[in-house]
Amino acid sequence: MTPDEFAAATNVSRETLERLKAMDRVLIEWSDRHNLIAKSTLPDRWERHYLDSAQIAALLPADAKTLADLGSGAGFPGLVLAAILADRDGASVTLIESTGKKAAFLREAARAMGLSGVTVIPERIEAVKLSPRPEIVTARALARLPKLLEYAHEIGGENAKYFFPKGQDVEAELAEAATYWQMTVKRHKSLTSPSGTILEIGKLARA
């Protein structure tokens, strides 16, 4: 998938595509020195990483402006969503990433993208308290759902909406999580993986 094919698939604005191209240039530069993403996925990154992240944007509430991404890594999905949400007045995105080199990448990429509404917090998720709490919390490939909800609830509380891409074990993870958590769940089919699901979770509270 090329950047133009990505834009056609997602219907992002020209400005958003330019932001993502700027992110990609920094990603490629840093990937020569740091293992930000698996090198085997670099040739297919516009589908495997950018599209996989961007598909979440279509699921977000239209009036949501504050988002926190947990374990942001190479910026998927948090920095991609920040590029898209930048078209919303007053939007702000917080990227939480404890690994120093990845946090440094996120800051450099956000600067290159011209994203003034992005904050990078180089701390462990357990140490972070956000006030006010974000309306949206996302995470990709961070932890199994029971542990992920533990992290996420501390950040977003009961009123946030949570969006988590998951693989073929999603039902087992949901069953395990139901032992500890009460929540509403919507399942959205992934555009990039036949066995993938994006979980939309709301009203999250301890069981």
3-state secondary structure 55-116: CCHHHCCCCCCEEEEECCCCCCCHHHHHHHHCCCCCCEEEEECCCHHHHHHHHHHHHHHCCC
Q: How confident is the model at residue 32, as a pLDDT?
A: 78
pTM: 0.94
The residue among 184 and 38 whose pLDDT is bigger is: 184
Domains of the chain: 3-206 (3.40.50.150)
Q: CA–CA separation, 34 vs 77, rounded Å?
A: 19
Residue count of the chain: 207
Q: CA–CA separation, 95 vs 120, rounded Å?
A: 5
Task: For 154-171, write each residue's pLDDT tens digit.
Answer: 999 999 999 999 999 999
